[in-house]
Structure 1
Amino acid sequence: MRMTRAQAKERNRSALLDSALQIVTRDGYTARLDEIAERAGLTTGAVYSLFGSKNGLMVALITEHLRPYYEEIEQAVPAGVDLLEAVDAFARYYRRSCDDPEAVSRLSLQITFLDRALHDPELGGRLAASVRSQENQLIALFTGRRHGREPVTSHQSHRLTIALNALFVGLSQGVLLGLAPGADEDYFADAARALAAGMVVTEQEPDQR
């Protein structure tokens, strides 16, 4: 059966993203578009047609890189448990991801994008928007769960999500770099639960303070 135009477009998009992942992981942001396109069996024109620019391709790459991570978190955190139990499950999932064979490559990719974003405000803004969009899934995952006598509000969940991501990024880098050899699942879970339990609870929005 002949492929439709939409199917061909999606196939080409996936091929370029797969190629970009391999080459950017190897070469960083100096990866050449012509090599990415050639590896995918396409031309650089396809890159511009599908992504608009090299930055557009990079943003799509990090978005695709993050999507499975957030989807797996939703599966790892049980429905119906309270906030601290949800945070515990999230922490243990994050620690297990450090043992994945691709964990070092993922860290390298993250550092590559962070370094480039610091020197390219346009790329930095687009990457930040992409990450915030994905983080909304975590905010929704925690919102409404019981913590003490009250359900967690969206505002509280937002603050907690930012803090947990910062905690886990730091700890996971420590694990992968050999700086935190004792940081096992229990360590991640204990740190995350302590953070969640100790955060100041407020019902006020930031502009009401």
Structure 2
Amino acid sequence: MRMTRAEARERNRRALLDAAFQVVSRDGYRARLDEIAERAGLTTGAIYSLFGSKNGLVVALVADYLRPYYEEIEQAVPAGLDLLEAVDAFARYYRRSCDAPDARSGLSLQITLLDMALHDPDLGAQLATSIRSQESHLIALFTGRSHNGSVVTSHQAQRLTTALRALFVGLSQGVPLGLAPGADEQYFADAARALASGMSLIDHDADAS
């Protein structure tokens, strides 16, 4: 059956994203568009047509990589849990992801993207915007949950999400490097609960107004 133009475009997009994951994870900011295109069986013109630029391709790559991850988190943290229970479930999911078959390639991509962002501030700003848009899923996941007799606001959930991301990124980098001995699911959950319990969830913006 003949492929429609939309189907062909999506197939080419998928091929370029898969090729970009391999090349960018290995070469970082030195990644060459001609090699990415060759691996995908396409031309560099297809990259510009679909993504606009090399930076556009990298930003799309990050969004593509993170999207299923955030969707899985929503499945791992069911409704009806209070805030600390939700944080516990999120922490355990995050720790399990450290043992996934693609965990090392994901860590390599994460470190490579940081290096690329440092070399190219414009790309860094685009990546930050893309990642923040994905993190809106997490903010929504924690918003409205009960905690200490009150309900978590979206601003409070945003502050918590920022802190949890810093905690988990650091721990997940330490696990494969041997810098987090004994950091099993329970450790991740205990650390996350302690952070959520101990940090001030006061809505500072509301206090200042």
Shorter-chain TM-score range: over 0.9
Question: Where does residue 84 of structure 1 map in the other structure?
Answer: 84
Q: Which amino acid aligns with 2:127?
A: L
- What displacement does 1:26 show? 2.4
Question: Where does residue 148 of structure 1 map in the other structure?
Answer: 148
Question: Where does residue 196 of structure 1 map in the other structure?
Answer: 196
Query: For 1:1-209, what aligned pairs fall within 5 Å after superposition?
Result: 1-205=1-205, 208=208
- What displacement does 1:23 show? 1.7
| Identity percentage of aligned residues | 77
- What displacement does 1:8 show? 1.2
Task: Pick closer, same or farther for the CA change 1:93–1:152 going to 2, 3 Å.
Answer: same
Structural RMSD (CA) = 1.3
Task: Pick closer, same or farther for the CA change 1:108–1:193 going to 2, 3 Å.
Answer: same
**2-side partners of 1:110 and 1:72: how far apart?**
19
**5+ residue gaps, structure 2:** none
Cα contact 2:160–2:201 (8 A) shared by 1:
no
Greater shift in the superposed pair: 135-144 or 116-125:
116-125
**2-side partners of 1:206 and 1:99: how far apart?**
40
| Other structure's SS at 2:174 match | helix
| Other structure's SS at 2:155 match | helix
- What displacement does 1:136 show? 0.5
**1-side partners of 2:129 and 2:27: how far apart?**
25
**1-side partners of 2:19 and 2:201: how far apart?**
45
Per the normalisation by structure 2, the TM-score is: 0.96
**2-side partners of 1:208 and 1:194: how far apart?**
27
**2-side partners of 1:25 and 1:156: how far apart?**
34
Cα contact 2:28–2:116 (8 A) shared by 1:
no
Q: Which amino acid aligns with 1:98?
A: C
Per the normalisation by structure 1, the TM-score is: 0.96
**1-side partners of 2:84 and 2:98: how far apart?**
22
Cα contact 2:29–2:119 (8 A) shared by 1:
no
Q: How many residues align?
A: 209
Cα contact 2:144–2:151 (8 A) shared by 1:
yes
- What displacement does 1:204 show? 4.1
Deviation by residue 1:18-72 (Cα, 9 ceiling, x = unmatched)? 1111122222231211111111111000000000111110111111111111111
